[in-house]
């Protein structure tokens, strides 16, 4: 099993549970899986599944799915798309060309995960895995003398790992999508577009606004609605400490950021760090996932400025 170094930890964790080898493929400066390195890994001849992340949890980066699918033709691995975070963005009309191309290639995936509890307006835990070929259900199939099914088709009760469970989250998702249909140009899609607009505006402000440009350095250009930035400092360890202080001061002012740690390769090009005394640096991350965040941007920037000052950033 291969996935990018920015893929969700669930993939390496589950391969340990399954006692299946896992290798991480390094990312480019956009945080996307490097297909040239993936190709090199494939030359070893033992790749079973490649996980392609459409919307990495930390950066929102979208891996180049179409390129991976072309490699599959030669190497015959399975392609699993992790669209847990990003899947719904296929409805947005304001993606950059690379992300658009990746979402448009999704039909070629062998399986796909999407989490309605991320962008689908559902509470935890509402997630699902979809398979291109339903007959893979036979690998999960089991017989039991206690259960009975009303049709000859594979039934979720026979092929899922979970046994009894409530149907409430399925019904809630169904009802939500009736109210806010998954259509381009619809209200739900416009909400996603607003989040992406807010992310681009927030990134631009962090990079250029006089309150921020000397304190912060933005990382990758947002592909979805996640913005990441490093704190400028003399050393990686000082930057990490400052990011944690800004995080705390912002939270005290009801601005809820996250701290995400990134490897030197991703942060170095920003020029934010003087001396590299660590291989990784904790950065700040904002997920502007509510449509209202766009209108709130001036307030968000004001609080970020306050938090940076409270954290002692000159
Ligand atoms: C959240 C997330 C997961 C894990 O999903 P949960 O069901 O929320 O635990 C997997 N992959 C990505 C990219 C995610 O963002």
3-class DSSP string for 4-39: ECCCCHHHHHHHHHCCCCCEEECECCCCCECHHHHH
Pocket test for ligand 1, best of 14, 27, 118, 119 (most atoms within 8 A of CB): 118
Task: Look at residue 145 in the predicted model and tell me its pLDDT.
Answer: 65
Judged against a pLDDT cut of 70, whether residue 150 lies above it is answered with no
Mean pLDDT, residues 16-37 taken together: 97
88 within 8 A of 60, measured Cβ to Cβ: no
On the 0-12 / 13-18 / 19+ scale of CB atoms within 10 A, 105 is: buried
Nearest alpha carbon, ligand 1 atom 2? 84
Ligand 1 atom nearest to CA at 55: 13
Mean pLDDT, residues 276-288 taken together: 98
Task: Look at residue 300 in the predicted model and tell me its pLDDT.
Answer: 98
List all residues whose CB is within 6 A of at least one atom of ligand 1.
8, 10, 53, 57, 82, 84-85, 115, 125, 127
282 contacts: CB under 8 Å, gap ≥ 6: 239, 240, 243, 244, 259, 260, 261
Task: Look at residue 141 in the predicted model and tell me its pLDDT.
Answer: 75
Task: Look at residue 9 in the predicted model and tell me its pLDDT.
Answer: 96
Q: How far is the CA of 280 from the centre of ligand 1 (A)?
A: 23
Angle of helix 97-104 versus helix 65-75 axis, rounded to 10:
50
Judged against a pLDDT cut of 70, whether residue 146 lies above it is answered with no
Judged against a pLDDT cut of 70, whether residue 163 lies above it is answered with yes
**Rounded to whole angstroms, how far apart are CA atoms 314 and 301?**
16
Nearest alpha carbon, ligand 1 atom 5? 84
User: Which pLDDT band holds residue 191 (cuts at 50, 70, 90)?
Assistant: very high
Residue among 254, 250, 206 nearest 228 (CA): 206
Judged against a pLDDT cut of 70, whether residue 140 lies above it is answered with yes
**Rounded to whole angstroms, how far apart are CA atoms 35 and 27?**
9
Mean pLDDT, residues 33-53 taken together: 96
Judged against a pLDDT cut of 70, whether residue 35 lies above it is answered with yes
**Rounded to whole angstroms, how far apart are CA atoms 243 and 259?**
7
User: Which pLDDT band holds residue 66 (cuts at 50, 70, 90)?
Assistant: very high
20 within 8 A of 51, measured Cβ to Cβ: no
In the numeric block, the tokens 């390496």 are attached to: 12
User: Which pLDDT band holds residue 155 (cuts at 50, 70, 90)?
Assistant: confident
Peptide bond into 125 cis (omega under 30): yes
Distance set, CA 155 to CA 126, 129, 143, 169, 174 (Å): 19, 15, 11, 18, 19
For β-strands 2-4 and 23-25, DSSP reports them as parallel
Mean pLDDT, residues 171-185 taken together: 97
User: Which pLDDT band holds residue 186 (cuts at 50, 70, 90)?
Assistant: very high
In the numeric block, the tokens 């019904």 are attached to: 171
């Amino acid at each position: 099993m291969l996935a990018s170094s920015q893929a969700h930890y669930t993939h390496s964790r589950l391969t340990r549970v399954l006692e299946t080898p896992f290798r991480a493929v390094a990312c480019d400066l956009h945080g996307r899986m490097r297909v040239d390195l993936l190709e090199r890994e494939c030359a070893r001849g033992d790749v079973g599944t490649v996980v392609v992340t459409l919307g990495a949890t930390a950066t929102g980066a979208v891996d180049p799915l179409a390129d991976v699918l072309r490699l599959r033709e030669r190497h015959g691995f399975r392609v699993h798309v992790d669209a847990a975070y990003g899947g719904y963005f296929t409805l947005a009309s304001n993606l950059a060309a690379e992300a658009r191309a990746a979402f448009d290639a999704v039909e070629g995936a062998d399986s796909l995960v999407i989490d309605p509890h991320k962008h689908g307006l559902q509470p935890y835990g509402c997630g699902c895995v979809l398979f291109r070929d339903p007959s893979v259900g036979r690998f999960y199939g089991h017989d039991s003398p206690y259960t009975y099914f009303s049709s000859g088709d594979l039934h979720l009760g026979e092929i899922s790992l979970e046994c009894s469970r409530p149907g409430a989250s399925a019904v809630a998702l169904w009802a939500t999508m009736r109210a806010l249909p998954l259509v381009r140009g619809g209200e739900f899609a416009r909400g996603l577009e607003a989040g992406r607009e807010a992310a681009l505006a927030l990134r631009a402000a962090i990079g250029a606004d006089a309150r921020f440009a000397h304190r912060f350095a933005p990382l990758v250009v947002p592909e979805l609605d996640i913005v990441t930035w490093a704190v400028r400092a003399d050393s990686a360890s000082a930057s990490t400490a400052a990011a944690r202080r800004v995080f705390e001061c912002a939270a005290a002012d009801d601005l809820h950021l996250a701290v995400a740690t990134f490897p030197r390769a991703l942060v170095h090009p920003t020029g934010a760090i003087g001396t590299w005394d660590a291989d990784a640096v904790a950065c700040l991350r904002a997920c502007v996932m509510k449509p209202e965040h766009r209108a709130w941007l001036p307030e968000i920037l004001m609080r970020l400025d306050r938090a940076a000052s409270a954290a002692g950033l000159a």
